[in-house]
Structure 1
Amino acid sequence: MPTRKLQLSKILPAWLWLQNYNSSKFRADLLAALIVIAMLVPQGMAYAMVAGLPPVMGLYASILPMIVYALIGGSPTLSIGPVALISMMTFATLEPLYEVGSPVYIQAACLLALLVGILSTLLGIFRFGFLIRLISHPVIKSFIIASAVLIALSQVKFILDVPLKSGDIIEFLQSAWQYLALTNLATFIFGIGSIVFLIYIPKLLNSSIFKAFSNTMQFWIKALPLLLVFISIALVQLFHIDHLGIKTVGEIPSGFPPLSIPFWNWDLVLKLLPGATMITMVSFVESISIAQATAFQQRSELNSNQELIALGVANISAGISAAFPVTGSLSRTVVNADAGAKTPMAGVLSSIFIVIVSLYFTGLFKALPLAILAATIMVSIWKLVDFKPFVETWRYSKADGIAMWVTFFGVLCIDISTGLIIGIVSTFLLLLWRISRPHIAVIGLVEGTQHFRNISRHDVLTSANIVSIRIDENLTFLNANTLKEFVISEVSKNSDLHHVVINCSSISNIDLSALETLEEINRELDKLKIQLHLSEVKGPVMDRLKQSNLINALSGKVFLTHYQAMHQLDAQSFYHI
């Protein structure tokens, strides 16, 4: 029976937290849900606009996916739903194929969510989660920053009320030059005023003036986007400012999201599959990073493959409920955790509130200006645009810095998916380049110790008839010739050389090409009456070497420690040890 419960908890993690659920946790989750909902309603509609979809689909994307994740996911505070980056990737995938906002475009968005869900679920079931996480952190950082720039630029058309294009920065600048003179002044003033409101009112509420009410102020700061929505709706309805040309959301259908399998055929699936693959990768990396951060804080366990499955089923539920791809939201997750959410029930309660809004209150948003939603997106997303990581990464690692800049300009100047692919490819190319140029050092004994260090960095003892070499990398076909060239160089410098000792302490693997190169080095040194020795060979590496011809053909010996090698090879002359 306990084994059955354990298996059930792995498949359905909600089984664990529901058993210990109580009224105290419910009150904490309810409060968190109320605070998150203040962000979720305007954000959901805004991110649907980013994806080129009707605002109501943003609400739909916040219902079933959150309920599903609460049952299957492992994070107690992760908020699943529409996010800016995935919305932008959805737009980038669909915009070249169909007219934005058309019925076929909407159906394709639902099918895209379904494909993302299927891919993610399959990867989780077959435990391939580690493959997605091979994307380096610098590339992900750069990708997010560049995407944030594009997302912000994509909303400028709603602030200016002109048909700007924003697939890449070149396209944006060209269309801006063409249409800038057609800017609607009233919309521009309304949009800029909203941006100023969202930037400076939080600063005012956080100032010393309201210090005595800091806890209350934090709630109002989080609710400001929703407050701005209601203020703008009131202005439109009371003063009819929409007559000035300010465009509004218009009619939003009410009711529970329609449940159905989106229209599909194999031709359409093949068209959407590349975009779905990229969205699967990015959504998982973003979601698992957020979930891991909260797991650390709450000391809760997190299984990456289970998270993939949960994210996959959440996207499947989005696809069959007239929504688009979803993932974990950083801003809402942080607010959820800070608000005191105890269990995933907070997400379920948020979904219930969204259902109530969808059933009874969508009419309120008819007069909501599009510029307000655009301002909400621009202010929230611009916080991600930070160029400090570029500088810090460049200082630490030039290779990672190059990958970041390549990704950044690839996303900005080509498109989101291509930019990410270029970034991933550049990372692996730079990794291969680094492996092919390993750090190789001549080492000597630190006097009075049994430790050996690089002769160019430390004052060490060396011997005239021995050269000790340490390679700080696994030996593969990529770098075996580099080691050979290094040995040739050292041998050519010293005519009195009798021994070459390779310290293998940093080598965890030797592939076949490298093994053959070592055999070749051994033969060439033997012709010069120079013995080749190995020291500090790791157990697994030694097990494989014993199956080869190298050990039997080795002109020298294999020593347990480098200190032992030096003691036996030159105890009489230089090393009195």
Structure 2
Amino acid sequence: MSKSASNIARWFPAWRWLQDYSSSKFKSDLLSALIVIAMLVPQGMAYAMVAGLPPITGLYASIIPMIIYALIGGSSTLSIGPVALISMMTFATLNPMFEAGSPVYIQAACLLALLVGIISFILGLFRFGFLIRLISHPVIKSFIIASAVLIALSQVKYLFDVPLLTNNISEFLVSAWQYFPYIQTPTMILGLSAILFLVMLPKITQITAIQKIISKHTLSFWMKALPLLLVLISILMVHFLHLEDYGIKTVGEIPSGFPPLSMPFWSWELVIKLLPGAAMIAMVSFVESISIAQATAFQQRSKLNSNQELIALGLANIGAGLSSSFPVTGSLSRTVVNADAGAKTPMAGVLSSLFIVVVSMYFTNAFRELPLAILSATIIVSIWKLVDFRPFIETWKYSKADGIAMWVTFFGVLFLDISTGLMIGVFSTFILLLWRISRPHIAVIGQIQGTEHFRNISRHQVITLPSIVSVRIDESLSFLNANSLKEFIIAEISQNTQLKHVVLNCTSISSIDLSALETLEEINQELDKLGIQLHLSEVKGPVMDRLNRSKLTHDLSGKVFLTHYQAMQTLHQTEAQIST
């Protein structure tokens, strides 16, 4: 590829796959698009409801954002559009300010998408993508699980046709107790039947006798299209059985046509109100999107630039804000289906968008009689798969600190609200990280007989000398932990009156800040007063460069050794000569 072509591909990744696009790839992408569209139509409408928006906005959110990502993004299979988690965060951001579904609420949702896009684009453009990935994986897992619970609970009001509050679990339980006598029985029966249909039918198809009759490929297609099949069946039932006469609420009139393109209403006051929520959504949407894109990149052995992905996601959200929709990100379920269906290039996403355009322009009336309870059922079934408490147990077994962060995030999301819970989780992660750094693992090490290796004296049979103590700190030195090292050395010299040398093994030290440097200078001075020399061994090059610019190496009472083995050999010989 020439330099000019390389530059074009850098800013316009679609240039790479468009150059050798073929009819065989088009056929594969077309098939993938048809399969994805079966999921996307009911999901898009359902997730718009989760966000407190009219169902048509879910279709709008699946058009321009997906086309933009296909041209700018780096993943060949990532499906951009509405997802449950971001929809819930949109609702959590806007619901306290405006009435859900009102014109001002819809405009605020568009502005929110625009702000999310601008934040993501700027961070990606200036290569600050790393800032947005400061949330630990345990916190993200916990946040997704807790959010999945809240999303499922938020749909119960449509399932039972009662006005439940779902900002947190406390509100939900109180309102459920109040409105329990007013449950609309026909709606409940329809909704629960839909859940049973979506849960049990895939299990029935696993029966060997059925698999012998119907091919595995055919079964797989119909299971992926199951939500759309349920939607169509329910529409026919409402139409021919007149279920609306029994109090079954439906989607109602849906406007048809291409998404209206316009700048959402905005004011500086509204921007400032929405900015915290937009920042949180940008952070979560990027983490979710890049995680999915990286997984598919691994499988396809393709390159992925996180900053480019952030730019693409930003432009996709700007497109969403300008096309009357709400924040979007990568969808795990649709991406997996897209990849499994054999998508070869991002053209599969473009084709999906074009199919959505056709649906939104010519087939919206077909969804007028779609029961709200059916959309709720599809959300509950799809989202409840994320509610898995095994990560909590596994994380707790591996790391108590990460386990605490997970539980704090989980209960914060459930009992406060979705955004506050995430902020608490992020804050707790940093607090626990600082606590962990301030309490580093420090060990006295000795030589394993017959080798040049040194290990912790409490774990291995090693050789030590009473006049020499070797100390290893398994952390970079900073103001947070320098005093811990000082206290450890004080404890060691207080227990050994024969001590003449302290050797600090610097294998694990990648940096030393100014506070830690001053502490090392203090340790050197105090040891010198006691007639004990301080030595350094195995200092990394960048660390040594900085130490050479300080006065520590000049004032050091001992020496700096290339290897710890060399240090021990030299000091042992020195002590042997003194004793003779």
Normalised-by-shorter TM-score class: over 0.9
- Between the aligned partners of 1:75 and 1:207, the Cα distance in structure 2 is 36
- Between the aligned partners of 2:142 and 2:291, the Cα distance in structure 1 is 15
Equivalent position of 1:445 in the other structure: 447
What is the CA distance between 1:210 and its match in structure 2? Answer: 2.4
- Between the aligned partners of 2:406 and 2:576, the Cα distance in structure 1 is 49
- Between the aligned partners of 2:258 and 2:501, the Cα distance in structure 1 is 80
Q: How is 1:136-535 mapped onto 2 (pairs within 5 angstroms)?
A: 136-212=136-212, 213-535=215-537
| Counterpart residue type for residue 564 of structure 2 | H
- Between the aligned partners of 1:163 and 1:221, the Cα distance in structure 2 is 32
- Between the aligned partners of 2:543 and 2:575, the Cα distance in structure 1 is 32
Equivalent position of 2:98 in the other structure: 98
- Between the aligned partners of 2:461 and 2:549, the Cα distance in structure 1 is 39
Larger CA deviation: 9-18 vs 75-84:
9-18
Q: Secondary structure at the match of 1:367?
A: coil
- Between the aligned partners of 1:574 and 1:250, the Cα distance in structure 2 is 94
Q: Deviations 1:191-247 (Å, cap 9, x if unpaired)?
A: 000000000101112321222311100000001100000100111111111111111
Equivalent position of 1:2 in the other structure: 2
1:146 and 1:412 in contact (8 A); partners too: yes
| Counterpart residue type for residue 521 of structure 1 | I
What is the CA distance between 1:572 and its match in structure 2? Answer: 7.5
- Between the aligned partners of 2:80 and 2:73, the Cα distance in structure 1 is 10
Unaligned runs of 5+ in 1: none
Q: Secondary structure at the match of 1:540?
A: helix
- Between the aligned partners of 1:61 and 1:169, the Cα distance in structure 2 is 29
| Counterpart residue type for residue 186 of structure 2 | A
Please, what TM-score do these two structures have when normalized by structure 2? 0.98
- Between the aligned partners of 1:464 and 1:493, the Cα distance in structure 2 is 11
- Between the aligned partners of 2:165 and 2:565, the Cα distance in structure 1 is 67
Q: Secondary structure at the match of 2:368?
A: helix
- Between the aligned partners of 1:526 and 1:540, the Cα distance in structure 2 is 26
1:66 and 1:348 in contact (8 A); partners too: yes
What is the CA distance between 1:560 and its match in structure 2? Answer: 1.3
1:464 and 1:496 in contact (8 A); partners too: yes
1:109 and 1:324 in contact (8 A); partners too: yes
Q: 1:81 to 1:252 in 2, by over 3 A?
A: same
| Counterpart residue type for residue 333 of structure 1 | T
Equivalent position of 2:38 in the other structure: 38
- Between the aligned partners of 1:63 and 1:271, the Cα distance in structure 2 is 28
1:82 and 1:325 in contact (8 A); partners too: yes
Q: Secondary structure at the match of 1:442?
A: strand
What is the CA distance between 1:571 and its match in structure 2? Answer: 3.3
Equivalent position of 1:14 in the other structure: 14
Q: How is 1:530-545 mapped onto 2 (pairs within 5 angstroms)?
A: 530-545=532-547
- Between the aligned partners of 2:130 and 2:370, the Cα distance in structure 1 is 43
What is the CA distance between 1:574 and its match in structure 2? Answer: 8.5
Equivalent position of 1:551 in the other structure: 553
Q: Deviations 1:272-321 (Å, cap 9, x if unpaired)?
A: 11111000000010000000000111111111111111111111111111
Larger CA deviation: 82-91 vs 131-140:
131-140
| Counterpart residue type for residue 29 of structure 1 | D
- Between the aligned partners of 1:274 and 1:207, the Cα distance in structure 2 is 50
Larger CA deviation: 328-337 vs 200-209:
200-209
1:498 and 1:530 in contact (8 A); partners too: yes
What is the CA distance between 1:496 and its match in structure 2? Answer: 1.1
1:463 and 1:574 in contact (8 A); partners too: no
Q: Secondary structure at the match of 2:225?
A: helix
Q: Secondary structure at the match of 1:500?
A: strand
Q: Deviations 1:58-83 (Å, cap 9, x if unpaired)?
A: 01111111111111111110000000
- Between the aligned partners of 1:252 and 1:572, the Cα distance in structure 2 is 89
Please, what TM-score do these two structures have when normalized by structure 1? 0.98
1:44 and 1:55 in contact (8 A); partners too: yes
What is the CA distance between 1:22 and its match in structure 2? Answer: 1.0
1:462 and 1:574 in contact (8 A); partners too: no
Q: Secondary structure at the match of 2:471?
A: strand
- Between the aligned partners of 2:108 and 2:371, the Cα distance in structure 1 is 27
1:436 and 1:479 in contact (8 A); partners too: yes
1:278 and 1:417 in contact (8 A); partners too: yes
Q: Secondary structure at the match of 1:300?
A: coil
Q: Deviations 1:446-485 (Å, cap 9, x if unpaired)?
A: 0011111000000111111111111111111101110000
Q: Deviations 1:155-210 (Å, cap 9, x if unpaired)?
A: 00011110000000111111111111110111111000000000010111232122
- Between the aligned partners of 2:9 and 2:544, the Cα distance in structure 1 is 43
Unaligned runs of 5+ in 2: none
1:206 and 1:217 in contact (8 A); partners too: no
Q: Secondary structure at the match of 1:246?
A: coil
| Counterpart residue type for residue 104 of structure 1 | V
1:110 aligns with 2:110: yes
- Between the aligned partners of 1:68 and 1:77, the Cα distance in structure 2 is 14
Q: Deviations 1:504-536 (Å, cap 9, x if unpaired)?
A: 111111111111111111111111111111111
1:522 and 1:531 in contact (8 A); partners too: yes
Q: Secondary structure at the match of 1:469?
A: strand
